[in-house]
């Protein structure tokens, strides 16, 4: 278990640094379009979580620490949007389209509302 925890921690640090470096690069080159960094890490993270999850389903012989460190650690540090996207897809694949749509809408709208309320409280 400790090996998995360390893999997630190391991967999370790497993913967070990658997100920071991406943001710094985008802001340095296109300051008015700072949001492109978030879009980029979200899209790359979604692509990678799809690729890795399919690979790891086919390659269960790969160490659990490696699989968890990459998906939960690196991609979790890079973006949680990738995990969210995979969850929605899994719900659709498992024949739960109503739950998938409810989860998708409540996450997006609920997240926006929660962020707005947090800002409102401070202002």
Answer yes or no: are the C-beta atoms of 35 and 75 closer than 8 Å.
Answer: no
Give how far the C-alpha of residue 11 lies from the chain's centroid of Cα atoms, to the nearest Å.
13
Q: Is 79 annotated as a binding residue?
A: yes
* CA atoms of 80 and 93, how far apart (whole Å): 20
Q: Is 76 annotated as a binding residue?
A: yes
Place of tokens 């609920």: 110
* CA atoms of 37 and 44, how far apart (whole Å): 11
* CA atoms of 28 and 35, how far apart (whole Å): 12
Which residues are known binding-site members for Na(+)?
76, 79
Which residues are known binding-site members?
76, 79
């Amino acid at each position: 278990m400790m090996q998995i925890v360390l893999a997630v921690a190391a991967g999370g640090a790497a993913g967070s640094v990658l997100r920071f470096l991406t943001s710094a690069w985008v802001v340095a080159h296109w300051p008015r379009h700072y949001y492109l960094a978030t879009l980029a890490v979200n899209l790359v993270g979604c692509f990678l979580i799809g690729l890795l999850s399919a690979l790891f389903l086919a390659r269960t012989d790969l160490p659990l620490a490696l699989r968890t460190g990459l998906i939960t650690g690196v991609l979790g540090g890079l973006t949680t949007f990738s995990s969210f996207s995979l969850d929605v897809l899994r719900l659709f694949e498992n024949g739960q389209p109503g739950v998938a749509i409810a989860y998708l809408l409540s996450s997006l709208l609920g997240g926006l509302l929660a962020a707005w309320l947090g800002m409102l409280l401070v202002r």
